[in-house]
Homo-oligomer: A and B are copies of this chain.
Amino acid sequence: MVLTTPPQTKLLSAEELQKMNAYWRAANYLSVGQIYLLANPLLREPLTLEHIKPRLLGHWGTTPGLNFIYVHLNRIIKAQNLDAIYIAGPGHGGPGLVANVYLEGTYSEVYPHISQDEEGLGNLFKQFSFPGGIPSHVAPETPGSIHEGGELGYALSHAYGAAFDNPNLLVACVIGDGEAETGPLAASWHSNKFLNPAHDGAVLPILHLNGYKIANPTVLARMSDRELESLFVGYGYKPYFVEGSEPETMHQMMAATLDAAIADIKAIQHDVRSNGFKTRPQYPMIVLRSPKGWTGPKEVDGKKTEGYWRSHQVPFAEMASKPEHVKLLEQWMKSYKPEELFDQNGKFRQELAELAPVGDRRMGANPHANGGLLLKGLKLPDFQDYAVDVDKPGKVIAEATRVMGVLLRDVMKLNTATRNFRLMGPDETASNRLSAVFEASDRTWAAQTLPEDDHLSPDGRVMEILSEHTCQGWLEGYLLTGRHGLFSCYEAFIHIVDSMFNQHAKWLKTTRDISWRRPIASLNYLLTSHVWRQDHNGFSHQDPGFIDHVLNKKPEVIRVYLPPDANTLLSVTNHCLRSRNYVNVIIAGKQPALQYLDMDAAIKHCTKGIGIWGWASNDQGVEPDVVMACAGDIPTLETLAAVDILRQNFPDLKIRLVNVVDLMKLLPETEHPHGLSDKDFDSIFTTDKPIIFAFHGYPWLIHRLTYRRTNHDNLHVRGYKEEGTTTTPFDMVVMNELDRFSLADDAIDRVPKLRNTAAHVKQMLHDKLIEHKNYVRNHGEDMPEILDWQWLYYSGSEADKTQSIPNVTPTDASSPSQEGGEGAAKSTS
């Protein structure tokens, strides 16, 4: 195997080289200025302590390398009229990106007070990492960015997400050697197996080895070129190496290498676009080895600094106690010769500014990096056409996500031509019963195929890789560049991307206050295979806590929906796919389950987000004795079954059933735009009656959302609680805090008039629960009266009910489909 080295021709003329180097010096100068200076931006006065920020924050180490790459990308964009964006994995190099976006002019257009003159330079410097200013890293405030430079690991999956279905886009993705050590990044190299040059753009990964993290060498920097080459060939790339520190040589090498890499990409695209996709091509990538803190001070206080970890953040501080450091800073900054770079007014000199591309070709102004500008609404079918026929509540059986899959199929179909909708999931699309989508699109697969392969195609838009990180990263990149999507995931595994959700939610929150950022499509999660059906994923990692995690974020960008059945799921899905700038979390089961609302009722219910179910209540015209509330599909089922038990045993008890689809409704209206007013809340939940609330997640969340409500003291919540015993893959009824017998028992305990007369019923409930637990241990299934339970109270037919309970076996229930490999489905027959 031979190392791929770039052609050694001297591509750049002497003048070009000189100008590019000057441009780079300007970017480096502005970077240092941002980190250090409060004033005196052009060093026209001798530098003193008063010109220097009292607290020095920022990362110099990675910055000159980022600037170097930016200048070279500018050259080739301009030379070849490329449509390119820049993803800065080492986002701590914020000053570099801001410097470049300023030099190309975009920054001043967006932020007029950062003008192209000395005053603007002063403002540019002061604002950086300063109270009231901008963060020290690449952020939503940075034009041209779709990638927050905080937590590392997601640069490359964002880059691929941006490239999918953007055939003319080049995504240059700089990956720091620190980031390259993270898991999510290490997995995302394989994204090349999911890219089709026929309709996708190109990603050019640039692995920037500057050798050090905060205080340590990096793993990849201490691998030999031969091992690195082997690694990236193994990942399916053709690596080019650009290594050194002498600027002139490095400029020539980088220019030639970029030319070669772009030529490779164009050749691949030309081939596939002419001849169709045959086999996965070997895409170019660049390994750039350059010193950490390149062009910075070689030594500080006698200690090695350039090319060492001491350059990682600020290479020196202690300006007050060490006057020689002020001198050193001045020398360093003057080494870039600002007088050659900026004119008398502090404006970047025209002959250098001309090196940058113009208009939308500037990477800071590229509309792909402000995806809302390009966003087109999805073509959506009428979701009502997919309605499950529910003639009576609690009788018909359907699988909610399977119904949703049919809707998604047609969303796929209707947007085939525009290719602006993708479905992501870690190999769970079929398992989550969304398989209908495969009638409209295959799974994306650009790797080797075999004749027996099932719905794999390089043109597919269902994306499955067993990496939740990669799924999430792809989707974020896709959304941030103005497209749409949905991520379906087992509820058990969604915590894997907790911190990625955090970062995206914060991005959305921040962009709401940035006037030039246009709204993008919401990030939609479908969480299924949820905790109340233990199925295969057993005890080891069940946890409904993602809702809690989501609700810690700023309410204005988050939405959590718990549709109780298929028609409400359709309505909620339709709403989420139309929404903008939110994170929508939809939690819905995939198993065959009772249906409650016909489409008209579902639309009304979902529009309100919370409501009293009259058909399940018997308090019409009178005050209820108890409010039975529920949120989530299994909690709804168990609550209805508990109501049934109560009504059988206490025919005079007045029960109100409240169902919550939109969890945000519970918050005060002052805390969330969806929040109910206290008046409305009180009218639903009463001000003094006991409320038994069955909740999908941890019970304390409901308390948290409602603790300021009038009737909070009467609220009793049952939800998920960690169990201490060994559990097995099974339905939940006996396993946790939430079951019909216990809910009925709770109600009895809390309704004053029942408390002293219901001993026999309580005894029966406890016996039933024990009987049921025992039955399950022996038979491996729920008792028939649990399995086959239905709602049978219909207006005028109460008499039927008393006859057929408890062990009714109806004949008209739709039969659930069975799935090999999924275990027998819950069945009414």
Which of B470, B556, B822, B823 is the one whose CB lies under 8 Å from A183? B470
Listed stretches A267-275, A399-407, A541-549, A639-647; interface member: A541-549
A467 in contact with B545 (CB, 8 Å): no
Which of B59, B467, B503, B726 is the one whose CB lies under 8 Å from A141? B726
A219 in contact with B234 (CB, 8 Å): no
A821 in contact with B310 (CB, 8 Å): yes
CB 8 Å contact bits of A485-518 with B (1 = contact, 0 = none) = 0000000110110110011001001101100000
Listed stretches A166-174, A565-573, A773-781; interface member: A773-781
A447 within 8 A of B: yes
CB 8 Å contact bits of A693-726 with B (1 = contact, 0 = none) = 0000010100110010000000000000010111
Minimum CB–CB distance from A753 to chain B (whole Å) comes to 25
A496 contacts which chain B residues (CB < 8 A)? 151, 498-499
A335 within 8 A of B: no
A429 within 8 A of B: yes
A287 within 8 A of B: no
A824 with B499, Cβ < 8 A, contacts A219-B190, A235-B231 known: no
Minimum CB–CB distance from A748 to chain B (whole Å) comes to 21
B213 in contact with A538 (CB, 8 Å): no
Minimum CB–CB distance from A125 to chain B (whole Å) comes to 12
B151 in contact with A540 (CB, 8 Å): yes
Highest count of chain B CB atoms <10 Å: which of A193, A223, A234, A553: A234
A430 within 8 A of B: yes
Minimum CB–CB distance from A731 to chain B (whole Å) comes to 9
Bound together, the chains give a CA A585 to CA B708 distance in angstroms of 30
Interface size class, chain A: 35 or more
A513 in contact with B725 (CB, 8 Å): yes
A538 with B183, Cβ < 8 A, contacts A216-B443, A234-B227, A820-B314 known: no
A780 contacts which chain B residues (CB < 8 A)? 38, 53-55, 130-131
A183 in contact with B540 (CB, 8 Å): no
Interface SS of chain A: helix, strand, loop or mixed?
Answer: loop
A495 with B493, Cβ < 8 A, contacts A151-B540, A223-B447, A431-B214 known: no
A610 within 8 A of B: no
Minimum CB–CB distance from A711 to chain B (whole Å) comes to 14
A181 in contact with B465 (CB, 8 Å): yes
B315 in contact with A540 (CB, 8 Å): no
B540 in contact with A135 (CB, 8 Å): yes
A466 in contact with B152 (CB, 8 Å): yes
Which of B55, B151, B216, B535 is the one whose CB lies under 8 Å from A57? B535
In the complex, what residue of chain B is closest to A514 when comparing beta carbons?
Answer: B726
A726 with B187, Cβ < 8 A, contacts A55-B823, A213-B466, A704-B704 known: no
A538 with B499, Cβ < 8 A, contacts A428-B214, A552-B698, A554-B722 known: no
A429 contacts which chain B residues (CB < 8 A)? 215
A728 contacts which chain B residues (CB < 8 A)? 129-136
A730 in contact with B151 (CB, 8 Å): no
- Number of chain copies forming the complex: 2
A309 contacts which chain B residues (CB < 8 A)? 454
Minimum CB–CB distance from A36 to chain B (whole Å) comes to 12
Bound together, the chains give a CA A229 to CA B233 distance in angstroms of 10
A553 contacts which chain B residues (CB < 8 A)? 722
Listed stretches A242-250, A316-324, A629-637; interface member: A316-324
In the complex, what residue of chain B is closest to A428 when comparing beta carbons?
Answer: B214
Minimum CB–CB distance from A471 to chain B (whole Å) comes to 11
B216 in contact with A820 (CB, 8 Å): no
Bound together, the chains give a CA A818 to CA B776 distance in angstroms of 65
Bound together, the chains give a CA A455 to CA B499 distance in angstroms of 31
A205 within 8 A of B: no
B317 in contact with A135 (CB, 8 Å): no
A158 within 8 A of B: no
B150 in contact with A540 (CB, 8 Å): yes
Bound together, the chains give a CA A779 to CA B50 distance in angstroms of 11
A181 contacts which chain B residues (CB < 8 A)? 187, 190, 465-467, 470
B317 in contact with A182 (CB, 8 Å): no
A308 within 8 A of B: yes
A537 within 8 A of B: yes
A93 within 8 A of B: no
A213 with B150, Cβ < 8 A, contacts A136-B729, A219-B190, A509-B722 known: no
A422 within 8 A of B: no
A179 within 8 A of B: yes
Bound together, the chains give a CA A139 to CA B309 distance in angstroms of 42
A342 within 8 A of B: no
Q: State which residues 602-623 of A face B: CB under 8 Å.
A: none
A218 within 8 A of B: yes
Q: State which residues 169-198 of A face B: CB under 8 Å.
A: 178-179, 181-190, 193
Bound together, the chains give a CA A779 to CA B135 distance in angstroms of 16
CB 8 Å contact bits of A208-243 with B (1 = contact, 0 = none) = 000001111111001110011111111110000000
In the complex, what residue of chain B is closest to A231 when comparing beta carbons?
Answer: B234
Highest count of chain B CB atoms <10 Å: which of A139, A216, A427, A545: A216
In the complex, what residue of chain B is closest to A712 when comparing beta carbons?
Answer: B707
A54 contacts which chain B residues (CB < 8 A)? 779-781, 824
A506 in contact with B541 (CB, 8 Å): yes
B151 in contact with A493 (CB, 8 Å): yes
Minimum CB–CB distance from A190 to chain B (whole Å) comes to 5
Which of B134, B231, B777 is the one whose CB lies under 8 Å from A726? B134
A362 within 8 A of B: no
A725 contacts which chain B residues (CB < 8 A)? 513
A431 contacts which chain B residues (CB < 8 A)? 214-215
Bound together, the chains give a CA A57 to CA B232 distance in angstroms of 39
A416 within 8 A of B: no
Highest count of chain B CB atoms <10 Å: which of A188, A229, A543: A543
Bound together, the chains give a CA A537 to CA B535 distance in angstroms of 40
CB 8 Å contact bits of A520-553 with B (1 = contact, 0 = none) = 0000000000000001111111010100110011
A449 contacts which chain B residues (CB < 8 A)? 222
A452 within 8 A of B: yes
Which of B447, B456, B781 is the one whose CB lies under 8 Å from A55? B781
A310 in contact with B186 (CB, 8 Å): no
17 A-B pairs with CB atoms under 8 Å apart are: A53-B780, A54-B779, A56-B823, A133-B726, A135-B729, A152-B466, A183-B187, A183-B467, A215-B431, A217-B445, A227-B236, A231-B233, A313-B536, A317-B819, A498-B549, A502-B543, A513-B725
Q: Interface of A with B (CB < 8 Å)?
A: 1, 38, 53-59, 92, 129-137, 139, 141, 148-153, 178-179, 181-190, 193, 213-219, 222-224, 227-236, 300, 304, 308-310, 312-318, 321, 427-431, 443, 445, 447-450, 452-454, 456, 464-467, 469-470, 492-493, 495-496, 498-499, 502-503, 506, 509-510, 512-513, 535-541, 543, 545, 548-549, 552-554, 556, 698, 700, 703-704, 707, 722, 724-730, 734, 776-777, 779-781, 818-824
The 8 closest A-B pairs by CB, nearest first: A231-B234, A150-B540, A183-B183, A186-B186, A230-B234, A495-B499, A183-B187, A313-B821
Known: A54-B779, A131-B776, A703-B703. 7 other contacts (CB 8 A): A132-B776, A135-B729, A151-B492, A186-B190, A230-B233, A506-B722, A548-B552
